[in-house]
């Protein structure tokens, strides 16, 4: 599919969002268009450099690999494997996202030689000491939120929808999430996370977008900043591949210890 035709199809997707009547209806239409715009990648792989910074700006770095599987009629599956530094090499994180029930997540810790299940009540906890929570690592599923369109405003060199999402899961660490998605292709440029006390907890900024297979936009740089602690985590992604031949058997909690 060429880029011009893809833009035309996206314009058709946008139409219901533009003409929905209430802020809630329009918010839902925008969320549905976001989901539709990123369907069909089947499976993917990428590499990541994770940079953790404290309030003073001191850094620590981690190298990891990411694998993901698109699941029809449910949330996606993902596997993250840490390759360095030496003290966490071999750590593996497996996530099964769901649209109508709690996500399932497991963490393999090689130092303990055991697989730890992440409790649904602990999804707001930090992932491997980063500013990303476990729930931030789940795939975007419409059923997990109630939506409200707030406004349009400029973002980067484009115009963005500003969308408020309220988690429906009682164990979410967030009272609301506000997302900036561009009109052109529903890329997420910025996300503000508000904690259960409704304080602005974190902000995620995505940049360096690249288009793959004339359809799939991916950010190659993501920065999550914690406004309460002054800490941040940056992810620099590279080597994206799609439709890689991965299947459900590659995302098995029983094989986490052998993840490579």
Residue 12 is predicted with a pLDDT of 47
The confidence score (pLDDT) of residue 120 equals 85
3-258: CATH number: 2.50.20.10
pLDDT in the model for residue 253: 86
What span, in angstroms and rounded, lies between the C-alpha atoms of 236 and 84?
15
Low-confidence ranges of the chain (pLDDT < 50): 1, 3, 5, 8, 11-14, 16
pLDDT at 258: 78
């Amino acid at each position: 599919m060429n880029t011009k035709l893809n833009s035309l199809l996206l314009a058709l997707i946008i139409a219901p969002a533009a003409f929905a009547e209430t802020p809630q209806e329009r918010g839902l239409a925008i969320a549905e268009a976001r989901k539709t715009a990123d369907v069909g990648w089947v499976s993917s792989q990428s590499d990541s450099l994770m940079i953790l910074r404290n309030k003073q700006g001191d850094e620590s770095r981690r190298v990891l690999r990411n694998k993901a599987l698109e699941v029809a009629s449910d949330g996606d599956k993902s596997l993250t494997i840490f390759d360095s530094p030496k003290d966490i090499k071999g750590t593996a994180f497996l996530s099964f996202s769901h649209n109508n029930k709690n996500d399932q997540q497991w963490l393999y810790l090689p130092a303990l030689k055991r697989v730890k299940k992440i409790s649904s009540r602990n999804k707001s906890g930090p992932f491997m000491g980063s500013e990303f929570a476990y729930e931030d690592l789940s795939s975007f599923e419409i059923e997990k939120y109630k939506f409200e369109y707030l406004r349009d405003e400029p973002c980067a060199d484009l115009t963005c929808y500003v969308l408020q999402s309220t988690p429906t899961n009682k164990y979410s660490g967030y009272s609301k999430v506000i997302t900036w998605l561009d009109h052109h292709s529903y890329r997420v440029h910025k996300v503000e996370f508000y904690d259960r006390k409704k304080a602005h907890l974190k902000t995620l900024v995505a940049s360096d977008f690249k288009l793959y297979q004339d359809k799939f936009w991916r950010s190659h740089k993501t920065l999550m900043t914690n406004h309460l602690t002054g800490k941040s985590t940056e992810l620099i992604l590279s080597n994206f591949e799609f439709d890689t031949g991965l299947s459900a058997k590659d995302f098995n909690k029983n094989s986490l210890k052998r993840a490579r």
